[in-house]
Amino acid sequence: MFFVFNLFKRKPRVYSKIENHIYGIITELLKVSSTDINVDELGGKYYLSNEEQHFKVTILSNDYVIRLTNTRDSVAEKYDKIFVEDVLKAVKEEKHRRMELVYDSINNSIEKMAERLHNTLIESNEQESQKVRRLETKHIKNKKVNY
């Protein structure tokens, strides 16, 4: 039974030297936080840009084309479908990771604001309760007992 499942398992793809080099460039760009990732899902276009390093990558997923651009050169090549899908997988994973960081940050900010609001409401209610107690005690002191 194990042998049957082993046949269907996808074997790791061995990339060419240039594909390895391009994959390395793109993954290194993705590791740098100053690299912008922009996605046009409908058009199948993915853009990476790092202004500090003067480097841009455009991935056209529908045509399996990757364009690398620096200050002097721009090269676009059509690559194997599986290679481009692997590159896109890395880009999408990094985009998702960054979105989770933003989501967590926003969520933490909202939780802190809610906690401050809750504490403010508790303090306000306590102050109102103290005012009511003072008024009640003043009212009782001012009241004369008639026998």
Residue 127: the pLDDT is: 82
Residue 116: the pLDDT is: 93
Across the chain, which has 147 residues, the per-10-residue mean pLDDT values are 55 81 93 93 93 93 94 92 94 94 92 92 84 69 56
Residue 67: the pLDDT is: 96
pTM of full prediction above 0.75: no
Residue 14: the pLDDT is: 79
What is the DSSP track for the chain? -HHHHHHHSPPPPPPPHHHHHHHHHHHHHHHSTT-EEEEETTTTEEEEEETTTTEEEEEETTTTEEEEE-SS-EEEEE--HHHHHHHHHHHHHHHHHHHHHHHHHHHHHHHHHHHHHHHHHHHHHHHHHHHHHHHHHHHHHHPPP--
Residue 140: the pLDDT is: 65
